[in-house]
Structure 1
């Protein structure tokens, strides 16, 4: 029997070392703490071991196997404190190894009461979890069965045991569980061993899983352990969400197509954006993805006349001069209106034209003491606009003037508002606002005396000048 005890202890050491070096999985370690209860009664009526089947009065202190198994009040010996601690490690394939230490006091042997005797136990357990089999991975209900062995001391007398284990864990969180277990311990020493049940209840916490990138996928299963990723890519990221993981995606930050290794083809011309010199406009492979609308071999972006074929020497434009002013259309800012070379092909505004504009501007009338243009002035303004349109490259300045009646500040304000009113009206009948400016000069630029009614009437005017 002594040799059997030695063999048992050696076997436990081998199991422990083997488990410590076994293949890890997520959270392989577990620690537990709780209470334990020792029950000698429901272990079979026999006289083997330290306690006989009956006492000196022939009262039975042992029952049949599992007899009154749940009679905690009469038969269970419970120490009212933390009396069980455990450390376990996952071995693999739903098996785990656990080392357990317990302490208790025995004062009940069936219905017999005795003086307290101390109880210490050290056990090793190999358990098989049925959780995945019954619930699928991650279920909260986790029953298990197992075997083990250990060494127990009762009043400093020790003996080896072989253990049969049944338990259940209720997972209250990913790593935290309520742990209930019942263990039958069969003593190897027929003369002083004690056959007994040991029940326990406590809490267990599992740990040790490493998730370096914090993506919820443990490193052991994570093919990209240092970069947060997705379960469908075994922990690797798909930053742009195009269904192609970053490590296989040539454009990991831009959603794209599998045929282009994850790169987009924004313009749909069959050339992926990284190789497309014009990624937003459909083009030709021969032009690196850029269009050539007129087919002259010059990309539209570099073609001054993208819709008319022309030589590269002429920036893709034909040598034309539609208005016959001596300025080729490619250089002509007004290709449909004859102009001068000095004015880039646009007509130049002469003094005569300015005088003509001001003949019309003299007839512009406003409501009394206001900047509102009177309706009878609309035809004159239309004539002014028609002349301005003939000179599309010219910019004009509209000046407002008053006579000397009224304060300087009032006259300046009224003249400025009237000039702005004329400018605003011209923009509504086709003259771009970018070609016009306006300013009011009040009474500071008279062209006649302010001492007569006729002179003051001449001074109340709108003038148009060419803005250089």
Structure 2
């Protein structure tokens, strides 16, 4: 027992030093309790036979009625733990083969045969997979060195464990480990047999930090560097308004929960820091400012605070300058009365188009050219005046000729004459994007080209309304 006492003291000393190096919640654990050694297991036997008397405690198990094992382990992340187990036992039930048989064994007392073991263990906990807070099954592998009296040898180990965490950091731990030996002649004090190592004991987790000394360990402390309150998981509430500082938009001023801890002097539901009118109760949609006429524009920004208006017009009603029932903001011709259907602009009537074409028929060009005769200029001025009355209407100018001369010459001449009318109108202030022109030569006569009068009618410019 003096060896185990030394082992146990050394393990606790190791745990004590290691505890200062931890960096997560309770990464260290120490367990101790009673072990049982069963030498009935033999690697040469069939698996079924090996475990047929697994729980034959009375005949095969060797148990010392005192603390006989100590384990120190550390969590290394992702459910894995690495640990070291030291154990001691007294072997009074030694299972050896009956001479002359293959799988027949006797249980004998080998005398004062001491058992010592030192084993490294890598275990994996299934606790997180089960999403349990108290049931902790595990599997483990490892290896070690075992002494049976005067014999000693290395073993390869594997097994299963189960811990019941009946308190936050205290659990009852069970484990069974198959320790495979490569020298299994089963002669006492000569070799180390393959055997089962069972253990049951108490397990304690420890090693958590409390950096700010507020009584809440760092892993569970939302503010591990600043002392706080348990109700806020270790975070402070500087202004004592019942809202922790990290969630308090105004941590140094006592405020209201519904305003994230900020005050509201005028009681309008808008925090003072966001209230453009903190001393006058107003509306949330207007940043806490009042709106006397209810037009959605705060009184301080409303140029007509007592008359309901439009936001886009600084709280004032939109004017209708030309009185055509289309507000100036929507009226494409705000100074000329028009129709709603034409966005406030006047619509071009058939009479207007007739007037334009009557003028167009009288446009005179120099013979064979696209230049205007002097007496035509007043006609073009009159057409310009009509087009200005309809500032959004678009028009297409068509040029036509009689059949005298070559077709190609007539086609180009008609194009040039239509373009000349367009250019004149543009120069007089008609927007270029409102006008297009095209020439059709002699292809669209309106009268016979066999008479002088017919030819005169065919030499023309026509105006078409583009819709």
TM-score category, normalised to shorter length:
0.3 to 0.5
TM-score normalised by length of structure 2: 0.47
TM-score normalised by length of structure 1: 0.47
